[in-house]
Amino acid sequence: MTASTFDTLTAARDLKAAGIEPEHAEGMRRAATADRGESATKADLDTAVATLRTEIAQIETRLTWKALGIAGLILAAVKLIPPAY
Protein backbone atom coordinates (compact mmCIF):
# COMPACT_ATOMS: atom_id res chain seq x y z
CA MET A 1 0.00 0.00 0.00
CA THR A 2 1.43 3.36 -0.95
CA ALA A 3 1.07 6.49 1.10
CA SER A 4 -1.21 9.09 -0.43
CA THR A 5 -0.18 12.71 -0.68
CA PHE A 6 -2.31 15.70 0.11
CA ASP A 7 -2.11 18.67 -2.24
CA THR A 8 -2.50 21.56 0.17
CA LEU A 9 -2.49 24.22 -2.56
CA THR A 10 -5.39 22.61 -4.41
CA ALA A 11 -7.23 22.08 -1.13
CA ALA A 12 -6.74 25.73 -0.15
CA ARG A 13 -8.04 26.89 -3.53
CA ASP A 14 -11.05 24.56 -3.32
CA LEU A 15 -11.88 25.75 0.20
CA LYS A 16 -11.53 29.40 -0.83
CA ALA A 17 -13.75 28.81 -3.86
CA ALA A 18 -16.33 27.19 -1.56
CA GLY A 19 -16.40 30.36 0.54
CA ILE A 20 -14.57 28.99 3.57
CA GLU A 21 -12.89 31.66 5.72
CA PRO A 22 -9.06 31.56 5.44
CA GLU A 23 -8.66 30.80 9.17
CA HIS A 24 -11.04 27.86 8.92
CA ALA A 25 -9.40 26.65 5.75
CA GLU A 26 -6.01 26.70 7.47
CA GLY A 27 -7.41 24.69 10.40
CA MET A 28 -8.87 22.15 7.98
CA ARG A 29 -5.54 21.88 6.16
CA ARG A 30 -3.66 21.34 9.43
CA ALA A 31 -6.14 18.67 10.48
CA ALA A 32 -5.87 16.90 7.11
CA THR A 33 -2.07 16.90 7.09
CA ALA A 34 -1.46 16.34 10.81
CA ASP A 35 1.03 13.67 11.72
CA ARG A 36 -1.03 10.82 13.09
CA GLY A 37 1.97 8.87 14.33
CA GLU A 38 2.93 5.56 12.91
CA SER A 39 0.25 3.93 10.83
CA ALA A 40 0.49 0.23 10.10
CA THR A 41 0.37 -0.81 6.48
CA LYS A 42 -0.95 -4.12 5.20
CA ALA A 43 2.65 -5.29 4.81
CA ASP A 44 3.33 -4.39 8.46
CA LEU A 45 0.30 -6.39 9.57
CA ASP A 46 1.25 -9.34 7.36
CA THR A 47 4.74 -9.34 8.89
CA ALA A 48 3.29 -9.21 12.41
CA VAL A 49 0.94 -12.10 11.67
CA ALA A 50 3.77 -14.20 10.22
CA THR A 51 5.93 -13.47 13.27
CA LEU A 52 3.14 -14.44 15.66
CA ARG A 53 2.45 -17.66 13.76
CA THR A 54 6.13 -18.58 13.97
CA GLU A 55 6.22 -17.86 17.69
CA ILE A 56 3.04 -19.88 18.28
CA ALA A 57 4.51 -22.83 16.38
CA GLN A 58 7.68 -22.64 18.50
CA ILE A 59 5.63 -22.59 21.70
CA GLU A 60 3.57 -25.57 20.52
CA THR A 61 6.77 -27.49 19.82
CA ARG A 62 8.20 -26.70 23.26
CA LEU A 63 4.95 -27.70 24.96
CA THR A 64 4.85 -30.97 23.04
CA TRP A 65 8.40 -31.84 24.11
CA LYS A 66 7.62 -30.92 27.73
CA ALA A 67 4.48 -33.08 27.68
CA LEU A 68 6.48 -36.00 26.26
CA GLY A 69 9.12 -35.50 28.94
CA ILE A 70 6.50 -35.51 31.69
CA ALA A 71 4.89 -38.63 30.22
CA GLY A 72 8.31 -40.30 30.18
CA LEU A 73 8.89 -39.40 33.83
CA ILE A 74 5.48 -40.78 34.79
CA LEU A 75 6.18 -44.05 32.94
CA ALA A 76 9.60 -44.35 34.57
CA ALA A 77 8.09 -43.72 38.01
CA VAL A 78 5.41 -46.35 37.42
CA LYS A 79 8.06 -48.91 36.43
CA LEU A 80 10.11 -48.14 39.57
CA ILE A 81 7.20 -48.66 41.94
CA PRO A 82 6.97 -52.32 42.84
CA PRO A 83 3.57 -53.91 42.45
CA ALA A 84 1.63 -54.32 45.68
CA TYR A 85 0.46 -57.96 45.75
Distance, CA of 58 to CA of 56 (rounded, Å): 5
Where do the H-state alpha helices sit in 3-41?
A: 8-17, 22-33
Number of domains in the chain: 2
Whether 48 and 32 map to the same domain: the answer is no
Same domain, 4 and 16: yes
* Residue 34 and residue 50 in one domain: no
The structure's pTM equals 0.48
**Residues 55-79 pLDDT 10s:** 999 999 999 999 999 999 999 988 8
Asked if 35 and 46 sit in the same domain, the reply is: no
CA distance readout (Å), 78 to 66, 67, 74, 84: 18, 16, 6, 12
Domain assignment of residue 16, given as a range: 1-39
Choice among 5-19, 26-40, 50-64, 66-80 with the minimum mean pLDDT: 26-40
Q: Are residues 19 and 32 in the same domain?
A: yes
Question: CB–CB of 20/28 below 8 Å?
Answer: yes
| SS3 category, 7 | coil
